[in-house]
């Protein structure tokens, strides 16, 4: 899909987990208050502290959610790919954004109006339960990340990341490969590592014969052997 072709907003909204079970009329009402946003690689979608008036669906492209520490260091919270939504929890809190969002590639997003969502909640209280379930899944992932940072070594975090990427692409045999979705510095920050530490661990795994690095493509000769080092 590219910007030269019109998109079907209603069809895209039906794939958002928060809207599962909504009928055509409900989706149509929300779609009327949904707008397209095109941003180029490097553009800021919103800054930390900006007011929140809804949430986003990434139609295509790549978005980074991050914050900057008082020392000026950037910490990547999440790297979002096509089909992912974000900003729902802050929308319900009616608070400003607590991170900034930046495009890592030319991107198309849908911005779903907070008021349109609240209007549907007034019409269908069962929607509240579904939205809570979706946000609970996000919280579960966040807690898993915190556990990983706290209890796992850098090597275990990188191996775990590679194995998750393989699982998402349904690769489990010999000669599997992972293509990093963005540069190594961003991936390192997402795993709470410095870029230098990240590179050292890749070099160590290469020395062990567990991976072969070709730019952003990482070949894995034996998934079973890599899994033995996950910890």
Helix (H) / strand (E) element for 100: namely strand 100-113
Examine the domain organization and report whether 129 and 216 are in the same domain. no
Question: What DSSP designation does 139 have?
Answer: H
Looking up residue 28, the CATH number of its domain turns out to be 2.60.120.10
CA–CA gap between residue 183 and residue 12 (Å, rounded): 28
Look at residues 151, 184, 209 and tell me which one is the last residue of a structural domain: 151
User: pTM, whole model, 2 decimals?
Assistant: 0.72
pLDDT at 47 over 60: yes
Q: Look at the chain and report how many structural domains it folds into.
A: 2
**Contact criterion met (CB below 8 Å) for 77 and 9:** no
Examine the domain organization and report whether 63 and 120 are in the same domain. yes
Q: What is the mean pLDDT of the chain?
A: 85
Model pLDDT for residues 137-153, shown as the tens digit of each residue: 666 666 766 665 565 78
CA–CA gap between residue 141 and residue 138 (Å, rounded): 5
Examine the domain organization and report whether 116 and 209 are in the same domain. no
Q: Mean pLDDT check: name the lowest of 128-132, 154-158, 227-231.
A: 128-132
Looking up residue 169, the CATH number of its domain turns out to be 1.10.10.10
Model pLDDT for residues 172-197, shown as the tens digit of each residue: 667 788 888 888 888 888 888 888 99
- Given the structure tokens 């894995």, which residue do they identify? 220
Let me know if residue 1 belongs to a domain: no
Let me know if residue 3 belongs to a domain: no
CA–CA gap between residue 178 and residue 111 (Å, rounded): 31
pLDDT category of residue 1 using cuts at 50, 70 and 90: very low
């Amino acid at each position: 899909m590219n910007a030269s072709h019109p998109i079907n907003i209603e069809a895209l909204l039906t794939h958002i987990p928060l809207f599962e079970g909504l009928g055509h009329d409900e989706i149509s009402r929300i779609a009327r208050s949904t707008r397209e946003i095109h941003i180029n690689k490097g553009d800021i979608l919103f800054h930390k502290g900006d007011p929140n008036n809804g949430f986003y669906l990434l139609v295509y492209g790549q978005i980074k959610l991050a914050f900057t520490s008082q020392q000026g260091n950037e910490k990547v919270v999440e790297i979002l790919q096509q089909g992912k939504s974000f900003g729902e929890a802050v929308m319900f809190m009616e608070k400003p954004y607590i991170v900034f969002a930046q495009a890592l590639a030319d991107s198309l997003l849908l911005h779903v109006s907070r008021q349109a969502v609240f209007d549907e909640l007034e019409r269908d209280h069962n929607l509240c339960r579904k939205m809570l379930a979706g946000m609970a899944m996000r919280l579960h992932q966040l807690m898993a990340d915190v556990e990983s940072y706290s209890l796992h070594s850098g090597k275990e975090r990188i191996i775990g990341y590679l194995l998750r990427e393989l699982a998402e692409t349904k690769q489990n045999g010999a000669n599997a490969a992972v293509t990093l979705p963005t540069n190594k510095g961003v991936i390192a920050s997402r795993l709470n590592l410095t870029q230098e530490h990240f590179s050292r661990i890749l070099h160590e795994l290469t020395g062990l014969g567990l991976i072969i690095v070709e730019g952003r493509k990482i070949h894995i000769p034996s998934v079973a052997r890599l899994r033995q080092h996950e910890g």
